[in-house]
Amino acid sequence: MGDSVIYYQRALEALRNGVPNRDAVRVLGSNQTEVEKLFMEKLGDVENAAQQGKQVPGVLVAGGFGTGKSHLLEYLEHIAVSNNFVCSRIVISKETPLYDVGKMFQAAIDGAVVSGIRGQIVSELALKLRPNTEPYTAFYQWANSPRNGVSLLFPATLLLHERLNNDPELVDEITGFWSGDKLSISRVRQGLNQIGCGNLYTLRTVRLKDLALERFVFVSQLILAAGYSGWVLLIDEVELIGRYSLLQRGKSYAELARWMGEVRSEPVPGVVAVAAITDDFGLAVLQEKSDRDTIGPRFRSKGSDEYTNLAGKAETGMRLIERSVIPLTPPDSSLLERTYHQLKEIHGKAYLWEPPEIPSQAVSVTRRMRSYVRRWVNEWDLKRLYPGSEIVTEDEQELRPTYEADEDLEVASVPSDEEL
């Protein structure tokens, strides 16, 4: 009884604050049946696509403030973990800009959730590797393939992880390297010499921004080799890129295209992503800021192969936002009634009382689900604490995101980054 009461109280606390947690999502579920169905189809395709060296195309959802984007991602995390996937929630922010692959990787590692694992995710996954098994053999062969998208540092460190039984400190450094830590090439060479394989790999320094993507690719294969079905990335608040500089917006569109599986020349097999963005982003940023018309030409004007390639990726990302988003289903009368009765039951179980009925309001196309939920929960709170009092609540003002440039967000991803 006590545990269930706390469970329902935690769910209500999250709903009061408008910030969904696992408890709230589990008791309410999700009404986004189209997205849920498509997501399940994507999960079913991941392993087969990975065997072919392909990345499953992602899902891009759109909705206004308070329409349930974060709630949906929380629900999809529950589905992913229940289906044997490693799942990482990544919230785009100043600390985790979409254009910075290294910080995206670190956020994905730090936020990874998986059934049966506690602690540092990569170290725990590495402990599940079993040499002389078919999954490990496939992983080892992939790591040593010349077209796998990673540098020789990764097969070298994988070999050391398997055979270096007398140097646990270096083994820990290797799993730290897979997780994002630094590891000197001289240290790897030293380990290779210890096992008599000093001449097996010709190791060279890798650029930091290349290394970040290689880690994504390697860890996705590590996840499969450890017996999991793949890696789900849930990317929230993508609309923050509208406040970046032009250069960083362009790079962010390119990265969005990557995580949506549309950069065919640089796939991340084993990964499938769902990203959430505001529904007015296309109009407010791609059109009114003229990103759609200016970013590609400005990148190509740099005259380098790197920026020409980046221009194509950025244009792909912008097309995805304009043409491929799935709008979230707004609440209708039947959904509101069902949610109301669910919340009424939850509130009663949380505080061991019988919540009274709350007069219904007319369904409005501009009123967000979050607003309905918070009104119901807050009114029951007040009626429980102040029985007999007349309760009057005011409608919440609708919040809209701003896309004005924010200099605090304009932090270069690498020291050599340049502005257009």
375-416, pLDDT tens digit by residue? 899 899 999 998 877 766 665 555 566 787 776 666 554 444
Half-sphere exposure of residue 255: CA atoms within 13 angstroms, side-chain side: 26
CA-to-CA dists, residue 398 to 87, 210, 363, 373, angstroms:
31, 42, 15, 14
**Mean pLDDT computed over 68-90:** 93
**Mean pLDDT computed over 341-350:** 91
29-43, pLDDT tens digit by residue? 788 989 999 999 999
The answer for residues whose C-beta is within 8 angstroms of residue 215's C-beta and 6 or more apart is 105, 178, 179, 180
- What CATH fold (topology level) applies to the domain 32-114+229-328? Rossmann fold (3.40.50)
Proportion of the chain in helix, strand, coil states, percent, rounded to 5: 55, 5, 40
Mean pLDDT of the chain: 89
**Residue 66 confidence (pLDDT):** 67
- Sign of the CA dihedral running 126, 128, 133, 135: negative
154-194, pLDDT tens digit by residue? 999 999 999 998 899 999 999 999 999 999 999 999 999 99
Looking at the chain, the whole-number percentage of residues with pLDDT higher than 90 is: 70
Query: Any idea where the domains of the chain sit in the sequence?
Result: 1-27+331-396, 32-114+229-328, 124-214
Q: Where are the alpha helices (DSSP H) in 195-287?
A: 208-225, 246-259, 281
Q: Assess whether pLDDT exceeds 50 at residue 419.
A: no
Q: Assess whether pLDDT exceeds 80 at residue 94.
A: yes
Q: How many CB atoms lie within 10 A of CB 323?
A: 9
Burial 275-297 (b: 16+ CB within 10 A, else e): bbbbbbbbebbbeebebbeebbe
What is the longest distance spanned by two Cα atoms in the chain?
83
**Residue 7 confidence (pLDDT):** 84
> How far is it, in rounded angstroms, from Cα 249 to Cα 295?
9
What is the model's pTM? 0.86
Q: Assess whether pLDDT exceeds 70 at residue 2.
A: no
Name the CA radius of gyration of the chain, rounded: 24
Say if CB 167 and CB 158 are below 8 A apart. Answer: no
**Mean pLDDT computed over 47-56:** 96
Instruction: Return the structure tokens found at 95.
Output: 């600390």
Say if CB 53 and CB 269 are below 8 A apart. Answer: yes
